[in-house]
Structure 1
């Protein structure tokens, strides 16, 4: 469990640096843009690797609560919405223009439905940490009015929706191969 926790601290910790604008600005000015982005990427990658390895090695028990059947039932729909939001976050979409922070909302939806559909300590730790990150970062971004100005286009919305649906369906199809749990009855 220690590897998982270390990975979460590194990955989510570095992603919370922009929330601490003073720290972020100091690091950015002392390291320069390239080194700051390089450090950010390196710490993120190391954290992500430790999360994957730590989660795989962590015991499945204890269970903190019984999985919520409703969360299991709605997970496929929530994941399609989540993937659409994640895709829209990096495009000039009307979705992004309206929602403002689709990536954080998508991560929050992903984390919530996965946490409620599992019940294991390791799953609650993993998805609870990502949910907490999404909430903290969303509150910070909203209070800082951290929204880039752009002109949305419908073609980006179409790409985000279609891309989000396709990727979500692919992930659900191979979920058991990737994560050891069959997410949909038609999955492999």
Structure 2
């Protein structure tokens, strides 16, 4: 179930890496129907990932957890969540980084990959890391970036909301994922 969800979710998100394929799908289905099908299938893929990860056994330990990654994870998550928040705002962060969501995803996946060593975590985080790297190279090559005029207020919003969301996730990480990651966690 986890593997199927990853294939569906990441496979869909890799369609733009092949512009002629995306253009053909848009021609066949129409722009709105393409977007609707994409959203529906991506949601199904995400549901399969979450349910599959929850049901999958840890599996064999493929490598020892990195103590450095475990200690760096809280700071890395704050940075990731700020980048996620900045991805859809006209912020200086987005203007400078260009593709903050992909960079945030790569940081999130890498630190989690190194902090875990069991099979299902390796599959999940390695798949997302590979996707982030492939898509980042693709968007850079395709020059997929629309210039805009940044405003400081969006940087403030991205930083505050990213920090608050990261703290919230860290606080309830044990209840959500079964692993306490900070001393103050619930």
Is TM (by shorter chain) over 0.5? yes
Give secondary structure in 2 for the equivalent of 1:105: helix
2:46 aligns with 48
Find the partner of 2:182 among 181, 184, 187.
Answer: 184
Rounded to whole Å, the distance in 1 between the matches of 2:145 and 2:91 is 13
Rounded to whole Å, the distance in 2 between the matches of 1:185 and 1:16 is 38
RMSD of aligned Cα (Å): 0.5
Counterparts in 2 of 1:1-188, with a 5 A limit? Answer: 3-188=1-186
Rounded to whole Å, the distance in 1 between the matches of 2:147 and 2:29 is 27
Q: CA deviation at 1:55?
A: 0.5
What are the ranges of 5 or more consecutive residues in structure 1 without an aligned counterpart?
none
How many correspondences in the alignment? Answer: 186
TM-score w.r.t. length of structure 1: 0.98
TM-score w.r.t. length of structure 2: 0.99
Rounded to whole Å, the distance in 2 between the matches of 1:139 and 1:126 is 20
Rounded to whole Å, the distance in 1 between the matches of 2:42 and 2:170 is 25
Rounded to whole Å, the distance in 2 between the matches of 1:28 and 1:149 is 24
Q: CA deviation at 1:34?
A: 1.1
Give secondary structure in 1 for the equivalent of 2:14: helix
What are the ranges of 5 or more consecutive residues in structure 2 without an aligned counterpart?
none
Per-residue CA deviations over 1:2-57 (Å, capped at 9, x if unaligned) read x1000000000000001110100000111111110111001101100000111111
Q: CA deviation at 1:149?
A: 1.4
Per-residue CA deviations over 1:51-82 (Å, capped at 9, x if unaligned) read 01111111112110110000000000000000
